[in-house]
Each structure stands twice: as C-alpha cells, then as structure tokens.
C-alpha cells in the first residue's frame, strides 16, 4: 500500500484570503507568529513591552520566515485577570502603529473578542481579526469585521472568559464542533463575512484527552471547506502530559504541528517561528 503525500491532505477548497487589495495564498501552509502585549501571558518569552524590544522580536520572527503576526492585548491563559476595553486598546494601539510603520507589508492579526478593540485595530492597519469566541461574547464584532471586509478567525470555545478553561462534557466532541462551526459559518456569511478561518480551540473548554481526540480527527474538518488554524504552541496539553513546563515544550509543539500539517492544517499559530517553518520546508 502506497502512502499519499502531505500535500494530498490539503483538499481543493478555498485556499486564498483577501487582505485588503491582495490575495494571500494558503495553498502552502503558513506560520502565524505570536506576540503577547500583556504582562501575564502563560509563556513568558512571548511577552513584549518596550518599543525597541518589540520591533527586534518582530524582525527576528520575520527573518525566520513568519507569514502573519498575531498581536494580543488580553491574556486568555487560565487565571488571567480581566482588563477593561480601554486598557486592552491602550496595550495594542501603539504597537500596531509601530509595527505597521517598521514592516508595512507584514500582515497583522489582532487577537480580540471585543468589537471596540477590533475597530481600533482595523483603523490602525490590522488585516485579520482572531476571535476566540467566534462572535459569541460580543456579536457586534461581526458587524465590525463585515464592514471592514477583513478575514475572520473563528475559534471554538464554551462558556465565558471565567470558565473557558473548564472541561466541558460533550456527547460526540467532533460532531458538536462541526455543528458549532456550521452555525457560526452560516451566521458569518449572513453578515457578509466570507474569508473565514476555523480554529478548533486546542486548550479551550476541553480536557487533555479531548484535545488529542480532536487532533486525531483534524482532517475531518475539511468537510467544512474552510482553512484550519491550529494553536498548540507550548500549551498545557503538551507540558502537563509530559510533566514539563511551557519553556520545555518546544519539541512537543513541533510534533503536534507536524501531525496537524499532515491532517490538512493551513496555519500554525506559534511562538517559535523558525521551527515551524522548518516543518513546512520538510513536508511541502
């Protein structure tokens, strides 16, 4: 029995996003680098504060081949403190301006579930909105995204920001996620949002076992005919299973990213750009 190539798992679905007046090609998987503009991100090395340090970090990630940069001013780690909308805006507005000035061609994504933050970000040059709630925590964000005609990443989660890291019971996990995404896609398209990326939400509202069950079924999400983003990077589903720390979880992250690519993932959201790009270079 012969083995199919990794490329064969990338089914002939829409593999392009429109970023303003340009088409962004996802026929080869892309790497989304993470910069957390928060004082309490779970992975300390991803926290950025000083202006020079920020630009140096972004330049380093670009040199390693980063395709998209994802910025976030609200930590979704377990136990993180809630911050006001204005504080979140204050955390992200200046860095967006600095990065756009220094690297004008770099596509920027903003990790937020708040419509006011998304609106400010888009006005400053953000080209993708990455919403962990898929519009369920602040439905006005869908109107903001639709008006701006920017791509939208819809993640699966349950509950609210206080309970998002609890383990939830599911009848059939994969089937429930398909129903969730089908409903979200229908709602988004009714708003006029058609550049949609799906994120199964590894580490959110799921046990360690549920996360790995979902990874094993990742290729089946192709039936939804949307690009898939995965975010395993140094998460507890790795370091708790290995009895290590987030800082010791790069190898585990690389293994899971490799599996995800073999199952059709289009975007790897990572802290470690160099290693992620090397996986893609080896497989594609």
pLDDT for the residue numbered 39: 72
pLDDT for the residue numbered 6: 53
Q: Is 81 a catalytic residue?
A: no
Q: What is the pTM of this model?
A: 0.90
Q: Is 100 a catalytic residue?
A: no
pLDDT in tens, 170-182: 889 999 999 999 9
Catalytic residue, candidates 184, 226, 234, 235: 235
Q: How many CB atoms lie within 10 A of CB 180?
A: 19
Average pLDDT value over all residues in the chain: 89
| Closest to 178 in 3D by CA, of 137, 224, 247 | 224
User: Quick check: 42 pLDDT over 50?
Assistant: no
Q: What count of Cα atoms within 13 Å lies in the side-chain half-sphere of residue 140?
A: 6
- As a whole number of angstroms, the distance between CA 133 and CA 160 comes to 8
Classify strands 128-131 and 196-199 as parallel, antiparallel or unpaired.
unpaired
CA 93 to chain centre: 19
Class of domain 6-283: alpha beta
- As a whole number of angstroms, the distance between CA 218 and CA 215 comes to 5
pLDDT in tens, 106-129: 999 999 999 999 999 999 999 999
The ranges assigned to domains in the chain are: 6-283
| Closest to 229 in 3D by CA, of 88, 74, 81, 67 | 67
- As a whole number of angstroms, the distance between CA 170 and CA 159 comes to 13
Catalytic residue, candidates 91, 234, 269, 277: 269
């Amino acid at each position: 029995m012969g083995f199919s190539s990794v490329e064969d798992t990338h089914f002939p679905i829409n593999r392009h996003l429109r970023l303003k007046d340009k088409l962004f090609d996802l026929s080869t998987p892309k790497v989304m680098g993470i910069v957390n503009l928060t004082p309490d991100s779970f992975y300390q090395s991803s926290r950025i504060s000083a202006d020079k340090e920020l630009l140096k970090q972004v330049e380093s990630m670009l040199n390693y081949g980063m395709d998209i940069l994802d910025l976030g001013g609200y930590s979704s780690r377990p136990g993180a403190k809630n911050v006001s909308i204005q504080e979140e805006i204050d955390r992200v507005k200046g860095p967006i301006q600095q990065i756009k000035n220094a690297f004008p061609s770099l596509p920027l994504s903003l990790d937020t579930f708040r419509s006011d933050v998304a609106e400010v970000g888009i006005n400053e040059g953000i080209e993708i909105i990455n919403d962990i709630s898929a519009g369920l925590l602040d439905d006005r964000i869908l109107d903001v995204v639709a008006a701006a005609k920017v791509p939208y990443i819809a993640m699966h989660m349950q509950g609210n920001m206080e309970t998002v890291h609890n383990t939830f019971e599911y009848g059939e996990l994969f089937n429930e996620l398909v129903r969730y995404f089908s409903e979200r896609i229908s709602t988004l398209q009714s708003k006029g949002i058609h550049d949609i990326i799906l994120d199964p939400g590894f580490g959110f509202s799921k046990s360690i076992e549920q996360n790995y069950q979902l990874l094993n079924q990742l290729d089946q999400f192709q039936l939804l005919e949307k690009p898939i983003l995965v975010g395993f990077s140094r998460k507890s589903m790795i370091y708790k299973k290995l009895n290590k720390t987030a800082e010791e979880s790069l190898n585990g992250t690389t293994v899971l990213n490799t599996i995800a690519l073999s199952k059709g993932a289009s975007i790897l959201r990572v802290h470690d750009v160099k290693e992620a790009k090397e996986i893609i270079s080896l497989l594609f």
